[in-house]
Amino acid sequence: MDPSNLEKQRQPEEPRFLDFPHLPEGTMRNGKLALNRYSSTLTHGHNFPGAQAMLYAAGVPDRDAMKNSPQVGVASVWWEGNPCNMHLLGLGKEIKRVLQKDGMIAWQYNTIGVSDGITMGGEGMRFSLQTREIIADSLETMTCAQHHDACIAIPGCDKNMPGVIMAFARHNRPSIMVYGGTNRPGYSETLKKPINISTCFEAAGAFNYQKLKSPEEGKYTPDEIMEDLERHACPSAGACSGMYTANTMSTAIEAMGFSLPNSSAMPADSPEKMRECAKAAAAIRVCMEQNITPRKLLTKASFENALVMMMILGGSTNAVLHLLAMAGTAGVDLTLDDFQRVSNKIPFIADLAPSGKFLMADLFEIGGIPSVMKILVAANLLNGSIPTVTGKTLAENIESFPSLPQDQTIIRPLSNPIKATGHIEILRGNLAPAGAVAKITGKEGLKFTGKAMVFNKEHELDAALNAGKIPHGENLVLVVRYEGPKGGPGMPEQLKASAAIMGAGLTNIALITDGRYSGASHGFIVGHICPEAAVGGPVAVVQDGDVITIDAGTNRIDMNVSDEEIASRLKNWKAPRMPVTRGVLAKYARLVGDASHGAMTDLF
């Protein structure tokens, strides 16, 4: 594949989705605004008697409700085996209860979401990113096939949030996102400190390099410390508690106007989260009455807000992938250059994990995301005039929230940032002609040069780390390739490796890949290298010992190999055999686009 062709991939300016018959906006019935714009196709007259018979069987109480009540889908990404998602069915039931109390017909359903924390470092992680498409496909399918008039979606884990927004953009009916919330921080008796899921992965690196010790010298063995961390890192329902991918996406989406104020900061098990469910049921009526539809909210201005929140809070590199896909689905012109432009002007001010000390529950206690937004709107860094699902502007939504306390230390003043510009850097060079995404907070420095140590799959690096074979001393750039969207397939996150490097204290290491990193990853890391190795990108021909330079100051990533030598190596390169040829991952690999355009599966 010619790498230059990748830049020619574009979304249509006006995406075309199947148009369904519906009542015109503002249609009145019996002196009231008709909110059943889509479901009335099935429920008026007798053109669809079988549909009505089945709807009565499913719970529609009487003829008046059949003819006049709007039908709202309540879509949760629920399943029992993951703390991020296990409580979402209950949140959906509360939303359904209040919708029915308000005279609407609510249909609860769910889709699937892979647990990143459980699959991390294993073959199951290859299925994670493609669930974003499954979620979007599921919500689009149910909303359109069943003629729902509106949708309230309840996501929990990383891919869940962009998946539901992509579905909203496709069906374009009044919609609200209720974030499932974050979990509470755990506490380790062996380490005598608060812990979270990231602690487990970093401790594994220390364990393998014989560096895992308790402050109470000799009181606990490394095995006992690991068992303590595994037992107590996730003490409640909810998504991982730092500024990892789930919280990055939930805060970005709140800044775009798709959720109620502070949805992204509320702990999953808090009374406030249950109250939010009731408020969302009321807000969806406002959306239907005012015809507030997703593509009216998915604008360049709202995406700009999302990028600002991402930079301010130190969000995950995965947000680049997901926001590009959301914008591509809605036909909004968003590119890698927009991320760099915003990063150049927005400071990084949040002392939040993974690079900082605090968690989302801590931020909630001092006012949450609306209190942070107030600072940004006042400073003209965040657009407070965008519309939202409440029927009010973003600025109106946050007006009643308190300002951050003067003595808090989680959010630094704009005048005294952790880093004067954003932590997300878009790199290009002879290793990544079509772009790469780096997460550089400044704590690791802005430039790194080292010799390449090449691994053709993530498991090869994991095995080397488990065996303690990555040495201290000489600067090394660990290259993990054939883990991109097509080559993985599935572009797995590589938190196991990045966290192990941090836990082992391998400060002489940079890590680069055509795959992804978890939002919990930190250190000198570069992902999303494009073109990926599997399609013949230059990363496919890096050799052990090649000197690689990563420079956030000039936004470059290069190897000290001439263009002629790269061309010669590529001429002799042969594409590896596809790892799978059947099943969902094979289908995904055939459909998926490149990372620099969001790894979308409908980019035609």
223 and 344 housed in the same domain: no
For residue 418, being part of any structural domain is answered with: no
Give the H or E element holding residue 488: none
**Least confident residue range of 14-28, 108-122, 143-157:** 14-28
DSSP state of 422: -
| pLDDT > 70? residue 223 | yes
CATH code of the domain in which 179 resides: 3.40.50.2300
Gyration radius of the chain over CA positions? 24
Is the pLDDT at 255 greater than 60? The verdict is yes
| Separation between Cα atoms, residue 459 and residue 47, nearest integer Å | 57
Same domain assignment for residues 371 and 501: no
Query: How confident is the model at residue 4, as a pLDDT?
Result: 46
22 part of a folded domain? no
SS3 (DSSP) at 155: coil
295 and 191 in a common domain:
no
Per-residue model confidence (pLDDT) at position 604:
52
User: Which structure tokens are listed for 4?
Assistant: 């230059």
Confidence class of residue 6 from pLDDT cuts 50, 70 and 90?
very low
pTM of the entire structure? 0.95
- The answer on pLDDT for 13 being more than 70 is no
State mean pLDDT over 345-358: 94
CA angle 187, 246, 76 (to 5 degrees): 105
Rounded Cα gap, residues 178 and 194, in angstroms: 28
Query: Considering the domain boundaries, does residue 75 fall inside one?
Result: yes
Three-class secondary structure assignment of 308-366 = HHHHHHCCCCHHHHHHHHHHHHHCCCCCHHHHHHHHHHCCECECECCCCCECHHHHHHC
Domain annotation covers residue 7: no
Query: Are 378 and 273 within one domain?
Result: yes
Residue 8 in this model has a pLDDT that exceeds 60: no
CB 144 within 8 A of CB 112: no
Look at residues 407, 428, 459, 440 and name the one whose alpha carbon lies nearest to residue 529.
Answer: 428
Per-residue pLDDT of 302-313, as tens digits, reads 999 999 999 999
Given the structure tokens 């019935």, which residue do they identify? 29
- pLDDT on residue 5: 52
Please say if the pLDDT value at position 394 is more than 60.
yes
| Residues 338 and 455 reside in one and the same domain | no
Regarding whether 194 and 177 lie in a shared domain, the answer is: no
Question: Which of 380, 398, 416 delimits the end of a domain?
Answer: 398
Distance CA 272, CA 253 (A): 19
User: Residue for token digits 């594949």?
Assistant: 1
* 273 and 198 assigned to the same domain: no
Q: How many Å from the N-terminal Cα to the C-terminal Cα in the chain?
A: 16
Q: What are the angstrom distances between the C-alpha of 426 and each of 82, 340, 437? A: 33, 6, 5
Give exposure, 436-451, as e/b (b: 16+ Cβ within 10 Å).
bbbbbbeebeeebebe
Q: Residue 291 falls within a domain, yes or no?
A: yes
Least-confidence region, from 55-64, 410-419, 460-469, 590-599: 460-469
* DSSP-assigned letter for residue 267: B
What is the number of alpha carbons within 13 Å of residue 263 lying toward its C-beta?
34
- The H-assigned helical ranges of 146-196 are 160-171
CATH number at residue 590: 3.50.30.80
Domain span at 353? 70-183+239-398
Distance of CA 97 to the CA centre of its chain: 29
**Residue 482 forms part of a structural domain:** yes
Q: Does residue 12 form part of some domain?
A: no
Question: Which of 232, 260, 289 is a domain's end point?
Answer: 232
Catalytic site residues? 518
Residue 139: inside a domain, yes or no?
A: yes
Q: Mean pLDDT throughout 233-244?
A: 95
Q: How confident is the model at residue 466 (pLDDT cuts 50, 70, 90)?
A: confident
- Shared domain for 215 and 343, answered yes or no, is no
Same domain for 304 and 353: yes
Using an 8 Å Cβ cutoff, are 313 and 243 in contact? yes
Q: How do residues 166-210 score in pLDDT, each as one tens digit?
A: 999 999 999 999 999 999 999 999 999 999 998 998 898 889 888
Angstrom distance (rounded) from CA 273 to CA 270: 5
97 and 118 together in one domain: yes
Domain count along the chain: 3
* Final residue of a structural domain among 398, 413, 438: 398
Same-domain pairing of 106 and 155:
yes
**Do residues 381 and 308 lie in contact, with contact meaning Cβ atoms separated by under 8 Å?**
yes
Residue 434 and residue 538 in one domain? yes
